[in-house]
């Protein structure tokens, strides 16, 4: 079986939350992502406002996650820049993308992005995401996959620490 055949994608189920929280805790311990810290984790997997929430399974086990949301909740600098190009209804925000650190580098992140892009094509929405300058693995991946850097802004986390951040738009 090839590596790509061992990866499957399905909609997130409410019962996935405990395992996703544990995987995200492992990601956070290693990379500091997300900078809003563990208290923010449970709410990430309960969002009823998401357009769609997907999980990746690797050899049958939960391995990663991505969600698409209304882009109007993005930082105001990003929203203003998007709105100057096209109606906000033509965008979707890609958020909460992460892969279990034990099995990164096997194409799981790319598959999740691919499924998100397919959803965007079907819905007629271009994807937009925000990433902190410090998350270099993610930035390298987006640039390798052809995403375009948009605007720069400062993200302040719950402790008031400031991070340089960028928006990226999916390839057209």
Ligand X SMILES: CC(C)(COP(=O)(O)OP(=O)(O)OC[C@H]1O[C@@H](n2cnc3c(N)ncnc32)[C@H](O)[C@@H]1OP(=O)(O)O)[C@@H](O)C(=O)NCCC(=O)NCCS
Judged by the rule CB under 6 A, the positions of this chain that interact with ligand X are 27, 31, 33, 97-99, 104-110, 129, 131, 135, 137-138, 140-141, 144
Closest approach, Cβ 125 to ligand X, in A, equals 18
Closest approach, Cβ 139 to ligand X, in A, equals 8
Task: Say which residues have a Cβ less than 8 Å from residue 122's Cβ, sequence separation at least 6.
Answer: none
Closest approach, Cβ 130 to ligand X, in A, equals 7
DSSP percent split of the chain into helix, strand, coil, nearest 5: 40, 30, 25
Closer by beta carbon to ligand X, 79 or else 129: 129
Strand order in the sheet with 148-156: 7-11, 52-58, 61-69, 91-99, 126-132, 162-169, 148-156
CB atoms within 10 A of CB 105: 9
Closest approach, Cβ 146 to ligand X, in A, equals 11
Closer by beta carbon to ligand X, 124 or else 155: 155
Closer by beta carbon to ligand X, 20 or else 108: 108
Closer by beta carbon to ligand X, 74 or else 124: 74
CA angle 141, 171, 106 (to 5 degrees): 30
């Amino acid at each position: 079986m090839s590596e790509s055949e061992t990866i499957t994608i399905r909609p997130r189920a409410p019962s996935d939350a405990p395992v996703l929280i544990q995987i995200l805790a492992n990601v956070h311990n290693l990379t500091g992502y997300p900078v809003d810290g563990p208290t923010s984790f449970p709410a990430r997997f309960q969002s009823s406002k998401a357009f769609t929430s997907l999980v990746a399974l690797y050899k049958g086990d939960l391995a990663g996650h991505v969600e698409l949301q209304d882009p109007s909740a993005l930082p105001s600098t990003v929203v203003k820049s998007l709105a100057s190009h096209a109606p906000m209804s033509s965008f979707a925000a890609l958020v909460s993308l992460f892969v279990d650190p034990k099995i990164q580098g096997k194409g799981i992140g790319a598959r999740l992005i691919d499924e998100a892009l397919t959803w965007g094509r079907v819905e007629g929405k271009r994807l937009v995401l925000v990433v902190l300058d410090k998350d270099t693995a993610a930035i390298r991946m987006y640039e390798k996959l052809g995403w375009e850097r948009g605007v720069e802004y400062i993200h302040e986390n719950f402790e008031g620490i400031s991070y340089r951040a960028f928006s990226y738009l999916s390839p057209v």
